[in-house]
Structure 1
Amino acid sequence: MRKLSVSATLIALALLSTANAEEKMSMSDADKAMYAEMLENNPAAMDVAEGEEMFERLIGNEAYAKMLGVKEKDLPKYLSGFPRVVKSAGKVVTIAQTLQMAMADRGQSVPKLESNEIIKMSAYVKSLANGLKTSIDVKSDKQMKEMMALGQEVFEQRRGGRGLSCNSCHSADIIGQRLRMQPLPDLGVNKAAGTWPAYRMTQSQMVTLDKRFQQCMENALLAKIPLGSREMVGLEVYVTNKTKGNEIQIPGLKR
């Protein structure tokens, strides 16, 4: 019989200790009521509106589409396929990185990926694809195939003193169990990529997908992978591919 590692044993014990917790323990009735209300009035909608104002003032659809090498009318469909190879970048990039590129092309000061400007504009730009399905194509070319493989490696790699990985909480045999009284989600069914940037109720702010990755790493006591790095972009490619075909709904709403 296969022996569990110390870290795997600790995870199993944590999951077993909460496996019988009732659903209400993961979210109180008051939180559920608040969640239902926020579904109708997502606070992050204001951030998306601010992102639209900034985007139109600093870049604009026409200039942005030209930089991406697509027609303006085709932007929504094109955006549903990110992360993807952008010819002017010469590599696989995220929507946030294309905004940095567009601002650099216009001779403007380029904000960091974690800045409010980039977060809000990213949410607005991705919202242009709302209602469409994620259409990432990880087999489209060599670079996408390489980033998909890198993302899977990052997702499954055990790191830190506890020997944890993304897969430790999101593998098929763990999904649905509880850790810290929260159900561990299936990232595909949960529409992970199609619903970020999202408003996090527990943090009262909008968070991007890559920043959420960093928060998970921090909670697991792992060194945070830098935003914009090959490893982080690869991880977003891998997770986005899990949600391929799911509807894009920006901004999302998360606990």
Structure 2
Amino acid sequence: MRKLSLSAALICLALLSNSNAEEKMSMSDADKAMYAEMLENNPADMDIAEGEQLFGGMTTLDAYSKMLGVKEKDLSNYIAGFPRYVDAAKKVVTLSQTIQMAAADAGKTVPKLESKEMLKMTAYVKSLANGKKTSIDVKANAQMKEMMKLGQEVFEERRGGRGLSCNSCHSPDIIGQRLRMQPLPDLGVNRAAGTWPAYRMTKSETTLLDKRFQQCMDNALLAKIPLGSREMVGLEVYITNKTKGNEIQIPGLKR
């Protein structure tokens, strides 16, 4: 199997990892035992439970649904289509951004996108769509088309002194090679949007998809794209579209 160059191997970290058989084979026996245990008792479940309490102390699902312009009974299907254009925001937004909108509508303190509270509430809201298929529609309107294009540009743009991009580790000719003993994944096949938020064993914490992007940027010595920025939302749109049609199952469990 062809190897990555030394510089890429040191800094080009896969955006996301998948819990497939090949990855588990690259774990130590201790890691595999821990992984098996966490499949039954995912620590992120506690964050989702706390997120439900935090969300309930801020607003109701009925009020949240009305703000989004949908009926509560249709909320889970609607959530499966994020990121998406929301009339109340007049732009394409992530689930986390809709929680900020809900807090503002309820006259509550608006949680920061970087906060632990936001992570937990976003994980809870995303969990409402468990069992649904990712249904993002990047052709729904001009705004979604624009964000899809922007996301692809961000994905492919080479940045930093080494000229790396997301595509450096996830282009078709790289997928399947190993970096730090882990196979570089196909983000679509690995259901990137359908398995995040996830608990990262190596970080001992629950992580959202956009925060995972930032962790990759850190490891690649790239300036982090701010959460909630057009570029970050566009990147999430682009990656989520790769996962369209696959079942949502969160929280995920990642090495």
Give the letter aligned to residue 30 of structure 2.
A
- 1:24-63 alignment, distance < 5 Å: 26-63=26-63
Partner of 1:3: none
Superposed, which structure 2 residues align to 1:69-148 within 5 Å? 69-148=69-148
Change beyond 3 A, Cα 1:13–1:236: closer
**Runs (4+) of structure 1 moved beyond 2 Å?**
8-15, 22-26
Question: Which residue of 2 is the match for residue 155 of structure 1?
Answer: 155
Please list the CA deviations of residues 128-161 of structure 1 after superposition, one character each: whole Å capped at 9, or x if unmatched: 0000110000000000000000000000000000
Moved more, 54-63 or 42-51: 54-63
CA contact (8 A) 2:24 2:32 kept: no
Q: Displacement, 1:23?
A: 6.8
Evaluate the alpha carbon distance shift between residue 24 and residue 78 of structure 1 in structure 2; reply closer, same or farther with a 3 A threshold: closer
The structure with the larger Rg is 1
Distance apart, 1:244 and its partner CA:
0.5
- Measure, in 1, the Cα distance between the counterparts of 2:250 and 2:23: 27
- What's the % identity of the aligned pairs? 79
RMSD over aligned Cα atoms: 1.8
SS at match of 2:85: strand
Higher relative contact order (CA 8 A, sep 6+): 2
What corresponds to 1:193 in structure 2?
Answer: 193
TM-score, length-scaled by structure 1: 0.91
Change in CA separation of 1:232 and 1:13 when aligned onto 2, cut-off 3 Å: closer
Q: Which amino acid aligns with 1:95?
A: L
Q: Give the TM-score, by structure 2 length.
A: 0.91
SS at match of 1:206: strand
- In the aligned structure 1, how far is the partner of 2:222 from the partner of 2:229? 16
Q: Distance in 1 between matches of 2:65 and 2:9?
A: 51
Secondary structure of the 2:199 match is strand
C-alpha separation between the residues in 1 aligned to 2:67 and 2:219? 38
Correspondence for 1:168: 168
1:24–1:246 CA distance, 2 compared to 1 (3 A):
closer
**Counterpart for residue 18 of structure 1:** none
Q: Which moved more, 1:182-191 or 1:78-87?
A: 182-191
Distance 1:68 1:24 in 2: 40
Aligned partners of 2:210, 2:169: CA distance in 1, in Å? 17
Q: Residue type of the partner of 1:71?
A: K
Q: Secondary structure at the match of 2:57?
A: helix
Q: 1:225 to 1:58 in 2, by over 3 A?
A: same
Q: How far 1:26 sits from its partner (Å)?
A: 3.2
Structure 2, unaligned stretches of length 5 or more? 12-21
